[in-house]
Structure 1
């Protein structure tokens, strides 16, 4: 099944195909195309189509939040506020969306959200006041945009941000853009196959973002990795590098 769009559109297609024998071929037609990047799919439409001619089908992971599938990230706090602010702005192009995102990020830095949460990872449970949490379908790689180097790693990445001051938040956003997560002293990184997120602040005030789309934030969200749940068509070179 061939689907064209950004991570939100591809997430919807993946949700329909996961657990079946059908394979998903992705035409990267969004702003960032992060899931496609993680699969090694060329970022031009012509390049993607040509790569499928001798492509191979591999199985990759999907994550779920209270049973709802996502391919890239479930997040709360700063990212959700950024998306809410951006939706109020007008833009008619990919470049316009990037500019709107930058404006929304700066507004978020100047007035960051703060949430009281409990996060269960394995047998451990921690309570914290956070400005953001991102739970990802496999760990993000280092040194590039935030996407997973191994989409079949079988783990969730859990990124907890406690930065509060403007200088700390500017550094956080700068490190995220450069893929330097581990260089930021205000980010805790965990990995697990299941995590339970409980919101103790007023949940009506906050939303979550799942693969770039705003969704309702439940008081309690169970997030799990579903190993090998989705078949995808990838360039032969990408399949061979993973096999190696």
Structure 2
């Protein structure tokens, strides 16, 4: 295959990596596997244009994207739209999509696994047409991200620290808002006051980081937390750390292929998080799963496991 790699030099791990050496190693590893790869290292602000240009090049058989979850989400959306396979080099803080794909979190080892991997189809989701690979959320998570982004940090550890401080801030003042939701267009709209809504690309597994163990179920994970007091947020946090948040009394969990949300009191739109990016969405949101529409480079063992189901 002929591959084009775009690496975000502002992504967490890449900030302290000799990117020239990394690109040389990528070229060697893929050549040993019979592939041809060319690498570009760009600033964070230039990632999307670089990915779009790479996707439009003649003769490119697959894209490789390296960076954090935001970079990977953008790359997945671009690869999905043009029908190219995507390989992921996890260089961010959480690397949630890479975890779902069972990729190594070591960037050097990831190159070797991708070079020997195979193309596999997985699910991707959209919110009002915007692609995402991990989750859409409103409420607790959105407030936490807004508070974290208002803090200053320049490293991966700094971001983790800021996230921790923001989480405590949200715990002290949990949000409450109204939402009307319709699952799979069954016409049974439900009006509730909640503190959090999360819709994931496939249901979360039993892990404290809340990522999907399987990206091929063709289902969204839908999670709604009722109105919470600070103590309730604390109990929810403990249950998340235990990998048992669905057992929390405040949480309602379901699966769906389509979810419509209406935020009746958000006249200027709802503050939401889409794959880690804080956005103001319209008062009406439609989320859909697109089953097996995203092609990825997956570890050979993972690909075999998916085929055997």
- TM-score grouping bracket, smaller chain normalisation: over 0.9
Deviations 1:20-61 (A, max 9, x none): 331100000111000110001000001111111220110111
Counterparts of residues 11-22 of structure 1 (less than 5 Å): 11-22=73-84
Give, in angstroms, the shift of residue 19 of structure 1: 4.2
- Greater Rg by CA: 2
* Pick aligned residue for 1:162 from 208, 223, 226: 226
What is the SS of the residue equivalent to 1:224? strand
1:85 aligns with 2:125: no
Query: How many Å apart are 1:140 and its aligned residue?
Result: 0.5
Judge conservation of contact 1:117–1:130 (CA < 8 Å) in 2.
yes
Instruction: Write the distance in 2 (CA, Å) between the matches of 1:44 and 1:89.
Output: 28
Q: 1:57, 1:231 within 8 Å by CA — same for their partners in 2?
A: yes
In structure 1, the residue matched to 2:114 is 52
Q: Which runs of 5+ in 1 are unaligned?
A: none
Choose 161-170 or 131-140, whichever is displaced more: 161-170
Instruction: Sort the Cα spacing of 1:76 and 1:57 in 2 relative to 1 into closer, same or farther, 3 A.
Output: same
Secondary structure of 1:13's counterpart equals helix
The size of the alignment, in residue pairs, is: 244
Query: What TM-score comes out, normalization by structure 1 length?
Result: 0.96
Q: Deviations over 1:106-156 (max 9, x none)?
A: 111111111101010131221100000000000001134211111111011
Query: Contact 1:163–1:169 at 8 Å: present in 2 too?
Result: no
CA contact (8 A) 2:69 2:95 kept: yes
Pairing partner for 1:238 from 302, 306, 309: 302
> How much has 1:187 moved relative to structure 2?
0.6
Q: Structure 1 CA distance, aligned partners of 2:241 and 2:90?
A: 20
TM-score, structure 2 length as denominator? 0.76
Identify unmatched segments of 5+ residues in structure 2: 1-62
Task: Verify: 1:185 aligned to 2:252, yes or no.
Answer: no
Matches within 5 A, 1:31-180: 31-122=93-184, 123=186, 124-180=188-244
Aligned partners of 1:203, 1:59: CA distance in 2, in Å? 39
Q: Which runs of 4+ in 1 moved over 4 A?
A: none
